[in-house]
Structure 1
Amino acid sequence: MTSPRSRPTVFDVARSAQVSIATVSRVLNGRAVADQALVARVRSAARELGYRPNTVARDFRHGVTRTIGVIVPDLANPFFPDVVKGLADDVTEGDHRLLIADCGEDPDEELRLVGELSGRCDGIVLCSPRMSAENLAAVAGWGIPLVCTNRELDGLPFGTVGVDSAIGMAQAVEHLAALGHRDIGYLAGPTTSWSDRGRRAGLHSAAEQCGVSVSVTLAGSTSDAGYQALPDLLRRNVTAVLAFNDLVALGALARLRELGLDVPTALSVVGFDDLPVAAFLGPPLTTVIVPKHELGRRAGAMLRQLLVDGAIARQERLPSSLVVRESTGPPRPRPAG
C-alpha cells in the first residue's frame, strides 16, 4: 500500500517546469519575468501539481500576519455578532482572518487589548470603543492601522464607520407625535457612548419641532438597566418610552408586564437596533433599524484599503430607519382635570 502523496513543494514545480527555483519564486510572487512562455509553463506546472505557496512563511518574512484584530465591548450583546459577521465576510475576501477580543465594557482593558493585538495583527477594528478621547488619540499615534465603528473624533488619523442615529430617532419621535403622544421618556445609554449622543441629538431636535416634552433618565445598555430605570419615567407620567437599544427596551417590557401595564395601551415602547428577537416579542417591538452587518462590512473594507495603499482615513455614516410594529399606539386618554 502506497503512502499518501506529500504536499508538492517549490522544488517539484521547478523540476516539472524545468526551471530554477528562483524562477518559480519570481513567477508565483508576481515579479516581472520577460519570457511569458516560461511564466505559463511554471503556472501550468503549479496548477497540475496542486501546489499552494506557504503563505504563513512568506508573510512572516514580510512582517505580515494576515490577521485583523477586532475588539468589542461585550460579546454577549447581540448587536455585535452581526457587526463581526459583516467584518468576517469582507476581510476573508482579502485572505485575512479575524482575532476577536472582548473588553467587557472596561475602557482600561480595551486600551490594554489594543496594545496586545497590535503586535499580532496587521490592523485593528475597534467596535464602539469605550476608551476616553485622550486614550483614543494616544492609540492613533501608535501607528497601528485602525478603524473604529460608531465613534468619531475629528483630526485623528483613523477611519470611522458609524450609523446616523439621529435620523432614526427623529423618525421615532415623529411617529409617536403623530399618534398623539406629547410626553415621552428616554431611557438613555452609557454616558461615554457616541451613539447615545447622536440619539439624544435627534430626540431633542425632533421633539422641539413636534411640540413634544421629553424626560430623560440614565439607564445603560442592558436589559437589567432598562428594567431598573423604567419606574423613574413612569413617575413622570410619560405616555411613551424610547430606549437606547432593544436590550434596554426588553427590560422595560419585562417591568411593564410585572406591573400589569399593557403595551401599547398603557405605554408605547420603542427600541433601537432591530435585534433579531425584536420582531418576535409580545408585542412585536417598534424599533429603529441599524444596518449592523453593513457596518462591519464597511469597516473591514476600509481597513483593508488602508493596509493596501495607506489611504487617508475617512468617515462614513450609514442611515438608520424606523420600523413600526405593535408596541406603539395612541396614548390612553387622561382623566379630565
Structure 2
Amino acid sequence: MKKELKIYLASPRGFCAGVKRAIEIVEKSISKFGAPVYVRHEIVHNKQVVEELKEKGAIFVDELSDIDDASRPVIFSAHGVPKSVPEEAKLKNLSFVDATCPLVSKVHRESEQLNKNGFDILLIGHKNHPEVIGTMGQLPKGSIKLIETKNDVDLLKENDFKKPLAYITQTTLSVDDTAEIIEALKNKFPKIKGPIKEDICYATTNRQSAVKEIASKCDMFFVVGSRNSSNSVRLVEVAKKAGCNKSHLMHSEKEIPFNEIENSEIIGISSGASAPEKLVQTLLNSLKRDRNVSIEEVIVAEEKVVFKLPKELN
C-alpha cells in the first residue's frame, strides 16, 4: 500500500508574461530570419529553455564580439542590457531585436527620468545580476548607487548626496526583504522619492504570495527553477521565511531527495518565472511513483498580462 502524500501546488507559478514574450521573440526570429540567430546572454535564466532554443537554431553568446556572422540578427535577453550594447550593435551594423521585459524597461525609463530631473539614484538589487548591470548601464557610470542590504543603508551618509534622493529596484527581489530596505531608507532619508508604481513585478509578487500562503503547512517545499534565476532563488527564501525550513531549489542537476520525502506527509511545489511547466509535471510524476498523491492547487491571483512583440516581428 502506497503512503498518502498531499501536495499543495502554488498558483501562479512558472512562466510570466515577460518570459513568454522573450522565448516567443527567439522562436519568431528563427522562423522569420532563418537559423541561426544569436542571443546575447541566456534569454531567460533556465537551462532547459536555453537548450531547446539551441536545438531550434539559437546561438548563445556572452558578448557581441563573440558573434561570428554579422549578417545574422542578435536578440538581447529579457533581463535588459546597458545602453552601450545597442550602441555597439549599431556600430557593427548588426540587426538586433530587444527582448527586454517591458517591466524592466519601465525601470530603465524611470532611472533616465529621475536623472534628467536632477535626482541622485539608489538601486536596490543584487550585484552582477544581468538586470542590475542593464539598469545601471542606462546612465553614465557613477549615476546609480547599488544597495543590496539594510546594512548598506546604514553605511550611507546624508552628505554623500548633493541632490534630492530617489530609489528604484530590481524587478525580481523578495517583496518582504525589499520592504525592509525601503523602510530603512525612508527612516534615514524621509524625503526620498520612490517609484509611483512599485518596481517589483506583478509575477514576482504573485509567486511569492502563493508560496507564503502554503509553505507553513508543508513538511517540505520545492521550487522548480535554475540556480541563476533570481526569482526562483527568492521563492526558496520566501518558503523558508514563511515557516518551511526544508525548502529546496530543484534545478537541473539536483536529485529529488526521496529519502527525506519518505517522512513527509505534505509537500508544497512552485516554480520560478522562467521555469517551464513540464518540469513541474515531471517532478509530480516522480512523486506519484512511490506515493498515493492528492494535489490541491492554491490560487492567489489570476494572471492575464500579455506583452506585445516588438514591431520587427509583427
TM range (shorter): 0.3 to 0.5
User: Which structure would you say has the larger Rg?
Assistant: 1
* Higher relative contact order, chain-length normalized (CA < 8 Å, sep 6+): 2
Normalised TM-score (structure 1): 0.38
Normalised TM-score (structure 2): 0.41
